[in-house]
Amino acid sequence: MNENLFSSFITPTMMGLPIVILIIMFPTLLFPTPTRLINNRLVSAQQWLAQLILKQMMMMHSPKGRTWALMLISLIMFIGSTNLLGLLPHSFTPTTQLSMNLGMAIPLWAGTVITGFRYKTKASLAHFLPQGTPVPLIPMLVIIETISLFIQPMALAVRLTANITAGHLLMHLIGGAALALISISPTTALITFIILILLTILEFAVALIQAYVFTLLVSLYLHDNT
Amino acid sequence: MPQLDTSTWLVTILAMILTLFILIQLKFHKYSYPLSPAPKTFKSTSFPTPWETKWTKIYSPLLLPQQ
Q: What pLDDT is stored for residue B51 in this prediction?
A: 65
CB proximity B66 to A under 8 Å = no
- What does the mean pLDDT of chain A come to? 87
The pTM is what?
A: 0.83
**pLDDT score of A1 more than 60:** no
In chain B, pLDDT over 90 holds for what percent of residues?
Answer: 12
Q: What pLDDT is stored for residue B53 in this prediction?
A: 62
Q: Which of A140, A60, A136 is nearest to A148 (CA)?
A: A140
Most confident of A87-101, B3-17, B33-47: A87-101
Query: In 3-state terms, what secondary structure has residue A60?
Result: coil
Give the bridge partners for A201, in sequence order: none
> Span A172-197, mean pLDDT?
88
Quick: pLDDT tens for A153-179. 999 899 999 999 999 999 888 888 888
Q: Which of A5, A74, A197, A171 is nearest to B29 (CA)?
A: A74
Query: Chain B: residue nearest A165 by CA?
Result: B3
Q: What pLDDT is stored for residue B17 in this prediction?
A: 85
Q: What does the alpha-carbon distance between residue A45 and residue A87 come to, in Å, rounded to a whole number?
A: 22
Count of A-B CB contacts under 8 Å:
97
> Span A205-213, mean pLDDT?
82
B6 CB neighbours in chain A (<8 A) are 99
* Length of chain A counted residue by residue: 226
Contact between A72 and A57 under an 8 Å Cβ cutoff? The reply is yes
Q: What does the alpha-carbon distance between residue B61 and residue B67 come to, in Å, rounded to a whole number?
A: 12
B4 CB neighbours in chain A (<8 A) are 98
Q: Domain coordinates of chain A in residue numbers?
A: 7-225
Q: Do B28 and A7 touch (CB under 8 A)?
A: no
Q: What does the alpha-carbon distance between residue A144 and residue A124 come to, in Å, rounded to a whole number?
A: 16
**pLDDT score of A42 more than 70:** yes
User: Which phi and psi angles does B43 have, rounded to 5°?
Assistant: -140, 125
> Span A200-215, mean pLDDT?
83
pLDDT band per the 50, 70, 90 thresholds, residue A151:
very high
**pLDDT score of A45 more than 90:** yes
Q: What pLDDT is stored for residue A162 in this prediction?
A: 92
**pLDDT score of B48 more than 70:** no
CB proximity B59 to A under 8 Å = no
Q: What does the alpha-carbon distance between residue A114 and residue B66 come to, in Å, rounded to a whole number?
A: 80
Q: Which of A113, A70, A146, A76 is nearest to A226 (CA)?
A: A113
DSSP code of residue B20: I
Q: Do B27 and A28 touch (CB under 8 A)?
A: yes
Q: Looking at per-residue confidence, does A82 or A126 come out higher?
A: A82
Which residues, other chains included, contact A31 with Cβ-Cβ below 8 Å and sequence gap of 6+? A46, A77, A81, B24, B27, B28
pLDDT band per the 50, 70, 90 thresholds, residue B52:
low
Q: What does the alpha-carbon distance between residue A88 and residue A78 come to, in Å, rounded to a whole number?
A: 16
Q: How open is the CA angle B14-B20-B21, to the nearest 5 degrees? A: 85
Q: What does the alpha-carbon distance between residue A182 and residue A189 come to, in Å, rounded to a whole number?
A: 5
Q: What pLDDT is stored for residue B35 in this prediction?
A: 82
Q: What pLDDT is stored for residue A117 in this prediction?
A: 85
**pLDDT score of B63 more than 80:** no
Q: Do B28 and A70 touch (CB under 8 A)?
A: yes
**pLDDT score of A220 more than 80:** no
Q: Do B28 and A31 touch (CB under 8 A)?
A: yes
Chain centroid to CA A193: how far? 28
Query: Chain A: residue nearest B1 by CA?
Result: A6
Q: What does the alpha-carbon distance between residue A153 and residue A156 come to, in Å, rounded to a whole number?
A: 5
pLDDT band per the 50, 70, 90 thresholds, residue A28:
very high
Query: Chain B: residue nearest A71 by CA?
Result: B25
Q: Looking at per-residue confidence, does A11 or B45 come out higher?
A: A11
Q: Which of A74, A68, A151 is nearest to A112 (CA)?
A: A68
Q: What does the alpha-carbon distance between residue B63 and residue A73 come to, in Å, rounded to a whole number?
A: 73
Q: What does the alpha-carbon distance between residue A226 and residue A77 come to, in Å, rounded to a whole number?
A: 23
